[in-house]
Homo-oligomer: A and B are copies of this chain.
Amino acid sequence: MSSLNQIPRRIILGPGPSSAHPRVLKALSSPVMGYLDPDYFSIIEEVEGLLKDTFKTSQRAFAIAGSGSAGMEAGFSSLLEEGDKILICENGHFCERMVLMAKRLKLNVLTLNVEWGTAIDPVQVNEILKQHNDVKMVSSIHAETSTGVMNPIKQISEISHQNGALFMVDCVTSLAGSEFRFDDWDIDYAYSGSQKCLASPPGLSPVAISNRALSTIEKRKTLPSSWYLDLSLIADYWGIEHKAHHTAPVNMIYGLRESLKLVFEEGLEVRWKRHKKLASALKKGLISMGLSLPINSKIALDQLTVIEIPDGVNDEEFRLNLLRKYLIEIGRGLGRFQGKIWRVGLMGESCVPANVFALLQAFEELLSQTGHEFKKGDSLATASKILSETSPLPY
């Protein structure tokens, strides 16, 4: 078999992973340490502190050794027991994954299904919770990358608690890219991914957990089916006593630590603004190219832009040309959106002006070959103007 010795050049503007910061990549290659070494404990204590600041919580935060989906599964399997009733707010592909997981765990699953491309309406959540007074937990996705929609997490959380339910949220794509306040929004469990706005490689799921959720776990009647993803065992390893659990992914943690340091060198709120500003430049550039962005701008994500594939353009051919001619990766549509949309991510280290220009220029070139009509150069001028309007960003 031939070997791809050189990792190829890429501008990764898909739904994730996004590029990692060079300092993060360098940190990954530091020598391995033992996962029970007292100096390694100092490192994870530092990571815990930085994660708490990123989640904006004074409760517990740590990182699970797996992707964001591992964080999702850890939540369902640790916080609920077989037969417990859960309400899953369902408006996208990753919400569907929540349903798949919850059913495998034999939870009693209620769903609030709303049309893909629209946001969850907290009023509807309330209605269902009034009908079912035994819902143990509500779950929702903050930034749904399959549809590019932001859900009103704060309101859903409030309604969940008013009805006596815990609230779990997927912030895989939002953490460190959009406003997220674990304590203020009274969230019980939130899981993210290292590979999106945190600008680390994929492989870790940073999570935050409330004291209320931890005490729910303590009161379980049965042990969670998963030992590997048992939040209480993972919390104990990250806790004061550092009780041994599985071998920790030491080098990935070095990378995460560096990425979190970078978040606070830039400033968390400044980073949110960076994602907003660059998204605005990209979106307006795409619109001035005559493309349609189907998600209502009031609920559209910053870090992921959904574009309707124009008539007469071959989805796969276009994305392959983008990859092979311009070294740019974007995302395809998932599920019912397959063949209908493209998804362009601007997250973490991928969220820089050069990438906005590269994407717009490549789109202009490739779309002009398909007969799609627009005035060449407009999209870059539009984006450029927006990026020049505000003060420089410290990245």
Chain A interface (Cβ within 8 Å of chain B)? 1-4, 7-10, 12, 14, 16-20, 25-26, 28-39, 42-43, 45-46, 49, 65-70, 73, 77, 97, 100-101, 103-106, 193, 195, 201-203, 223-229, 245-252, 254-255, 261, 323, 329
8 A-B pairs with CB atoms under 8 Å apart are A1-B45, A4-B46, A66-B70, A67-B246, A68-B247, A70-B246, A100-B227, A106-B225
Q: Which residue of B lies closest to A70 (CB)?
A: B228
Closest 10 CB pairs of A and B: A203-B249, A69-B246, A201-B251, A7-B30, A25-B29, A29-B29, A67-B246, A28-B28, A225-B225, A202-B247
A3 touches which of B46, B195, B202 (Cβ 8 Å) = B46
The answer to whether B7 touches A247 (Cβ under 8 A) is: no
Q: Which residue of B lies closest to A245 (CB)?
A: B69
Complexed CA–CA distance, A348 and B106 (Å): 42
Q: Which residue of B lies closest to A28 (CB)?
A: B28
Complexed CA–CA distance, A7 and B250 (Å): 11
Q: Which residue of B lies closest to A334 (CB)?
A: B244
State how many angstroms separate the Cβ of A345 from the closest Cβ of chain B: 10
* Oligomeric state, in copies: 2
Q: Which residues of B contact A70 (CB under 8 A)?
A: 65-66, 228, 246
Q: Which residues of B contact A228 (CB under 8 A)?
A: 66-67, 69-70, 73, 229
Given A66-B65, A224-B104, A249-B202: A7 touches B31 (CB 8 Å cut-off): yes
Q: Which residues of B contact A249 (CB under 8 A)?
A: 67, 201-203, 252
The answer to whether B34 touches A12 (Cβ under 8 A) is: yes
The answer to whether A34 touches B10 (Cβ under 8 A) is: yes
Given A68-B246, A249-B201: A4 touches B225 (CB 8 Å cut-off): no
The answer to whether A30 touches B25 (Cβ under 8 A) is: yes
Q: Which residues of B contact A68 (CB under 8 A)?
A: 246-247
Q: Which residue of B lies closest to A31 (CB)?
A: B7
A37 touches which of B97, B247, B250, B329 (Cβ 8 Å) = B329
A32 touches which of B20, B42, B65, B100 (Cβ 8 Å) = B20
Q: Which residues of B contact A10 (CB under 8 A)?
A: 31-34, 37
State how many angstroms separate the Cβ of A239 from the closest Cβ of chain B: 16
Complexed CA–CA distance, A101 and B17 (Å): 31
- Max count, chain B CB within 10 A of own CB: residue among A37, A249, A251: A251
The answer to whether B4 touches A32 (Cβ under 8 A) is: no
The answer to whether A8 touches B32 (Cβ under 8 A) is: no
Complexed CA–CA distance, A223 and B225 (Å): 13
The answer to whether B26 touches A226 (Cβ under 8 A) is: no
State how many angstroms separate the Cβ of A97 from the closest Cβ of chain B: 7
- Max count, chain B CB within 10 A of own CB: residue among A17, A43, A49, A69: A17
The answer to whether A46 touches B202 (Cβ under 8 A) is: no
Complexed CA–CA distance, A70 and B223 (Å): 17
A226 touches which of B19, B32, B226, B323 (Cβ 8 Å) = B226
The answer to whether B195 touches A247 (Cβ under 8 A) is: yes
State how many angstroms separate the Cβ of A94 from the closest Cβ of chain B: 11
The answer to whether A34 touches B7 (Cβ under 8 A) is: no
A31 touches which of B25, B65, B246 (Cβ 8 Å) = B25
The answer to whether B203 touches A203 (Cβ under 8 A) is: yes
The answer to whether B31 touches A28 (Cβ under 8 A) is: no
Given A7-B30, A32-B17, A97-B227: A203 touches B43 (CB 8 Å cut-off): no
State how many angstroms separate the Cβ of A122 from the closest Cβ of chain B: 28
